[in-house]
A = this chain, B = another copy of it.
Amino acid sequence: MAKLRMGMIGGGERSFIGAVHRIAAELDGQIELVGGAFSSDPDRSRRSGESLYGLTPERCYGSFDELLTSETSRVADERMHFVVVATPNNVHYAHAKAALEAGFHVMSDKPMTYSLDEALDLRDTVARTKKVFGLTHNYTGYPMIKEARHLVRGGAFGNVRRVNIEYIQGWLATAEETGGNKQAEWRTDPARSGAAGCIGDIGTHGENLAEYVTGLRIESLCADLTTFVPGRRLDDDGNVLLRFEGGAKGVLSASQIAVGVENGLTLRIYGEIGGLEWSQMEPNSLIVRWPDRPFEVRRTGAAGVSPPSIEASRIPAGHPEGFLEAFALLYRNFASAVHDAELGKEINSEDYDFPSVNDGVRGMQFIETVVASSNQGATWLEFPKAS
A residues with CB within 8 A of B = 1-3, 16, 19-20, 22-23, 26-30, 51-54, 157, 161-162, 164, 169-171, 173-174, 222, 224, 226, 228, 237, 239, 241, 243, 247, 249-251, 253, 255, 257-264, 270-275, 280-284, 288-299, 302-305, 314-325, 377-380
Residues of B contacting A28 in the complex (Cβ-Cβ under 8 angstroms): 23
Do A299 and B291 have beta carbons less than 8 Å apart? Answer: no
Do A249 and B239 have beta carbons less than 8 Å apart? Answer: yes
Number of copies: 4
Residues of B contacting A263 in the complex (Cβ-Cβ under 8 angstroms): 316-319
| Complex CA distance for A29 and B23, rounded to whole angstroms | 8
A3, closest chain B residue (CB): B54
Do B16 and A23 have beta carbons less than 8 Å apart? Answer: no
User: What's the nearest-Cβ distance from chain B to residue A226, in Å?
Assistant: 5
| Complex CA distance for A274 and B97, rounded to whole angstroms | 43
| Complex CA distance for A293 and B293, rounded to whole angstroms | 14
Of B164, B226, B304, B321, which one neighbours A324 at CB under 8 angstroms?
Answer: B321
- The A interface is mostly helix, strand or loop, or mixed, namely loop
Q: A170-B289, A296-B294, A304-B293 given as contacts; is B161 within 8 A of A257 (CB)?
A: yes
Counting chain B CB atoms within 10 Å of each CB, the highest count among A228, A251, A302, A319 belongs to A319
| Complex CA distance for A255 and B237, rounded to whole angstroms | 24
Of B239, B304, B324, which one neighbours A292 at CB under 8 angstroms?
Answer: B304
Do A295 and B297 have beta carbons less than 8 Å apart? Answer: yes
Residues of B contacting A258 in the complex (Cβ-Cβ under 8 angstroms): 162, 270, 275
Do A297 and B297 have beta carbons less than 8 Å apart? Answer: yes
User: What's the nearest-Cβ distance from chain B to residue A387, in Å?
Assistant: 25
Q: A16-B316, A315-B20 given as contacts; is B260 within 8 A of A289 (CB)?
A: yes
A183, closest chain B residue (CB): B316
Do B323 and A321 have beta carbons less than 8 Å apart? Answer: yes
Of B29, B272, B295, B305, which one neighbours A53 at CB under 8 angstroms?
Answer: B29
Of B29, B237, B318, which one neighbours A54 at CB under 8 angstroms?
Answer: B29
| Complex CA distance for A274 and B258, rounded to whole angstroms | 8
Do B318 and A262 have beta carbons less than 8 Å apart? Answer: yes
Closest 5 CB pairs of A and B: A260-B289, A262-B318, A263-B318, A320-B322, A293-B304
Do A291 and B316 have beta carbons less than 8 Å apart? Answer: no
User: What's the nearest-Cβ distance from chain B to residue A84, in Å?
Assistant: 15
